[in-house]
């Protein structure tokens, strides 16, 4: 999976959150979680986390798996895990 697109300067927090839900293919009820991170990270921070999320997915790194369960995290799950670190 590859995350495509880019954040536009001047996007509102709500627009960034909707962008994340769409790009990461997350269900609409997750919008609130992504809104919180969009608000705290801002466009530049969100972009950094998206790039790191994409790298983890592309490189099939261990961060993309749930601990001890051997299942792949969703792109949104990886994004949230990386965003929490910041």
Q: How far apart are CA 84 and CA 9, in angstroms?
A: 23
Looking at the chain, the whole-number percentage of residues with pLDDT higher than 70 is 79
Name the token pair of 4: 């495509």
Residues spanned by the domain of 74: 13-84
4 domain-assigned: no
37 domain-assigned: yes
3-class state of residue 86 by DSSP: coil
Average pLDDT over residues 77-86: 90
3 domain-assigned: no
Q: Say how many Å lie between the first and final Cα of the chain, rounded.
A: 23
pLDDT digits (tens, 9 = 90+) for 7-42: 666 788 999 999 999 989 999 999 999 999 999 998
Number of domains in the chain: 1
């Amino acid at each position: 999976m590859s995350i495509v697109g880019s954040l536009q300067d001047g996007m509102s927090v709500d627009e960034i959150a909707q962008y994340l839900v769409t790009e990461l293919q997350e269900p609409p009820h997750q919008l609130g979680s992504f809104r919180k991170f969009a608000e705290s990270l801002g466009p530049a921070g969100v972009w950094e986390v998206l790039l790191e999320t994409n790298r983890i997915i592309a490189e099939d790194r261990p961060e993309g798996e749930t601990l001890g369960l051997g299942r792949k995290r969703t792109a949104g799950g990886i994004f949230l895990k990386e965003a929490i670190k910041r």
